[in-house]
Structure 1
């Protein structure tokens, strides 16, 4: 390697380190500049002492300590920043930042209002939640996610070509949800209701990434956004449940039963608006939830590992096959998705420069356990399809999903193993997961668009 190549690689490492530092909202850009100056000075001293640039960089980063310690130190020195981030319209001290914050707020309010209006439009045509539950099950994400995508695209200043692609994909989703002659209790309604939100959420990802769709870092940022968005949405759902119970019981105490208002207005309008508000909160208050989500990941990873291992032991002990009826298939697929979610979010919150540790080994155990369960489910589904039961939309969709998850989990397990054995870099696992996202999108669209006519709309 020439000296110029070594210098270019060193600059790339500095850039990667800086990008990771800037993910912490406790650290402002000028803080990152200060840290980078300190890091560069340490690297120069180590290179002058005879180390290679790569060795000097790793030693200098190690001497600086973990980023958690650095961010906590900066948070202590500038504690007012954290409090400002907890306020809806924080006083940042910068007129430009204040203007942007107000614009984001009004954009969020406009998009949330659009989502609320969208969910009430079907009522103008005589549709209601009780008699037309199938329609709302297929279309509910179409009422909310386009507005979340609109907010993110506006915030990212997406190009017209990106906006055109977003509009086309959401329109395609609306056609897929409503054009096919599906009976209310058909299996195709179920698979569409499950897979269309997945397909449309990855369209939201396109709005989030905007012009950087090839960047695996931006894809990893979207994975992080997804986890944080989900946490905010759950917290708002819990608050909405408390509000609904409070309204119902207090008004009932004075002889008024607001059941229709709650079921027809408060819950659907609140749910669609919350989808947009949660996205805005993640964008504006990322540092607050960054302290929560990694803790939840580390809490539930060992619990799910123990649960999956106990299930495998029970399967071997009882020699009982897995039920592959519709409810069981959905349950097992959700279980595997949760495991994958724990893996993805722990990857997005991990320091890529940190060496392998005990938690990485625990994640490997979790992935291997999930992989074993996936194999068992695949064997049962294949057996049912090849026997007298034949193929149905549910089984075919589950078969494809489990094959996709099998490939992902198998290669993830291998990459984790090689990382733990220090034979590959952590970024290889990140690149694999972010590069695999289009596979999920492609399969979800296939199920939504192809399966209903393929199985004669049953």
Structure 2
């Protein structure tokens, strides 16, 4: 039977029409014309006609290179590059801390979101004030490498990352879906930035080699004036591409999450078994305790990334059980780390590093408990996936608050 006849025969069977189309789209398109001519009054065929023949307007905003957000992206990317190069000039002379380079990137990413989201004035004023205060505060700290200053350097970017999140979520900063979208943005941004950075690295290597062929070493000049500029500007470009729903990052991210979860689980189990067999002790070995905390944060990051890429599917799958196993493993690691930190505090006294690590581990432990309970309820069909996502998104401000405390209070206290 010709496909045109099959189309007419199955006008009341949408599933069969879809199957015919997917089986051979080109033949379906060709046969559809005949079916449409024989049944011009069919509403079903009218819908298929629009589906098969719909074309975007030639002057649509999507295809324009001069739309508002593209122009703002270009301007902000150039500003980020120039400001980063300007800051590096002073950082290279040890007049200011190299950490000031974050102010050549993050404020401009935040500005891109503000320009396109139009938040309320009070949110805008808070963002401007906190970025300015952070910049002034950073440059009032002495250029010495003691524990409290180093901790401030580590935690300040986390605090600024939360500020960028406020710019991203705008007026919806209290809502879970907006915070979840920001976490998803970070995962997709990281993937896209890494892909473009690798391409830029290959271009840099090729450029270096080409100039070496003619006896010129331009490495220092190229790094200062091209690589540094490009790395800063690329952050704005990546933010623009992800926010424009670039399918590359959005299609890759869920697969990376599904691949990395089992790999991380297997690797960590093997690592912990090896550690136990060789007799490593986090209670006495400071470096091993730090590696334990690094593992903990890595597991938390992978778990959160996997959760944010789960979408809205309420059906359980193998990834959910792997995530639950990762959370249990992270809780075990965190419990051991907490015990070791308390032991070192009672044995060796209070230091900024120990207090900072203790606070972070307590926050992570509480967050993991919340996520674990939500996951248990989800796996038992007592709650939906949204409860797990709430356990992640509602906790984000607490991490930002702790980062602010360590950044702004520790150098004063210690």
TM over 0.5: yes
Q: What residue in structure 2 maps to residue 421 of structure 1? A: 380
1:142 and 2:103 correspond:
yes
Q: Of residues 245, 269, 281 in structure 1, which corresponds to 2:229?
A: 269
For residues 93-130 of structure 1, give each alpha carbon's deviation from its aligned partner in whole angstroms, at most 9, with x where no partner exists.
Answer: 4534445863221111111111112112236xx6243x
Once the two structures are TM-superposed, the CA of residue 177 in structure 1 deviates from its matched residue by 1.4
Once the two structures are TM-superposed, the CA of residue 182 in structure 1 deviates from its matched residue by 3.9
1:234 to 1:435, Cα distance in 2 relative to 1, 3 A: same
Q: What residue in structure 1 maps to residue 4 of structure 2? A: none
Q: What residue in structure 1 maps to residue 352 of structure 2? A: 393
1:179 and 2:144 correspond:
no
User: What stretches of structure 2 of length at least 5 have no aligned partner?
Assistant: 1-13, 27-55
Partners of 2:108 and 2:286 in 1: how far apart? 32
1:109 to 1:351, Cα distance in 2 relative to 1, 3 A: closer
1:427 to 1:382, Cα distance in 2 relative to 1, 3 A: same
Once the two structures are TM-superposed, the CA of residue 294 in structure 1 deviates from its matched residue by 0.6
1:275 to 1:443, Cα distance in 2 relative to 1, 3 A: same
Does the residue aligned with 1:292 lie in a helix, a strand or coil?
helix
Does the residue aligned with 2:90 lie in a helix, a strand or coil?
coil
Q: Of residues 118, 121, 124 in structure 2, which corresponds to 1:157?
A: 118
- Does the aligned pair in 2 maintain the 1:115–1:144 contact within 8 Å? yes
144-153 vs 404-413, greater mean Cα deviation: 404-413
- Does the aligned pair in 2 maintain the 1:308–1:370 contact within 8 Å? no
1:324 to 1:337, Cα distance in 2 relative to 1, 3 A: farther
Once the two structures are TM-superposed, the CA of residue 159 in structure 1 deviates from its matched residue by 2.7
Partners of 1:371 and 1:424 in 2: how far apart? 22
Q: What residue in structure 2 maps to residue 348 of structure 1? A: 308
Q: Which has the larger radius of gyration?
A: 2
Once the two structures are superposed, the pairs formed by residues 13-32 of structure 1 within 5 Å of their partners are: none
1:274 to 1:232, Cα distance in 2 relative to 1, 3 A: same
Does the residue aligned with 1:346 lie in a helix, a strand or coil?
helix
User: What stretches of structure 1 of length at least 5 have no aligned partner?
Assistant: 1-62, 78-90
Once the two structures are TM-superposed, the CA of residue 387 in structure 1 deviates from its matched residue by 0.9
- Does the aligned pair in 1 maintain the 2:91–2:97 contact within 8 Å? no
Once the two structures are TM-superposed, the CA of residue 297 in structure 1 deviates from its matched residue by 0.6
Q: What residue in structure 2 maps to residue 110 of structure 1? A: 75
Once the two structures are TM-superposed, the CA of residue 407 in structure 1 deviates from its matched residue by 0.8
Q: Of residues 102, 115, 127 in structure 1, which corresponds to 2:90?
A: 127
Does the residue aligned with 1:158 lie in a helix, a strand or coil?
coil
Partners of 1:276 and 1:329 in 2: how far apart? 36
Q: What residue in structure 2 maps to residue 441 of structure 1? A: 400
Does the residue aligned with 1:127 lie in a helix, a strand or coil?
helix
1:306 and 2:266 correspond:
yes
1:187 to 1:115, Cα distance in 2 relative to 1, 3 A: same
- Does the aligned pair in 2 maintain the 1:182–1:188 contact within 8 Å? no
TM-score between both structures, scaled by the size of structure 2: 0.81
Partners of 2:57 and 2:343 in 1: how far apart? 61
1:240 and 2:200 correspond:
yes
Partners of 1:380 and 1:166 in 2: how far apart? 38
Q: Of residues 204, 221, 226 in structure 1, which corresponds to 2:186?
A: 226
Q: What residue in structure 1 maps to residue 368 of structure 2? A: 409
Q: What residue in structure 2 maps to residue 188 of structure 1? A: 148
Once the two structures are TM-superposed, the CA of residue 198 in structure 1 deviates from its matched residue by 0.9
Partners of 2:160 and 2:293 in 1: how far apart? 19
Does the residue aligned with 2:67 lie in a helix, a strand or coil?
helix
Q: What residue in structure 1 maps to residue 389 of structure 2? A: 430
For residues 237-287 of structure 1, give each alpha carbon's deviation from its aligned partner in whole angstroms, at most 9, with x where no partner exists.
Answer: 212222222222211111111022123222221221121111011012432
1:95 to 1:340, Cα distance in 2 relative to 1, 3 A: same
- Does the aligned pair in 2 maintain the 1:352–1:426 contact within 8 Å? yes
1:244 to 1:392, Cα distance in 2 relative to 1, 3 A: farther
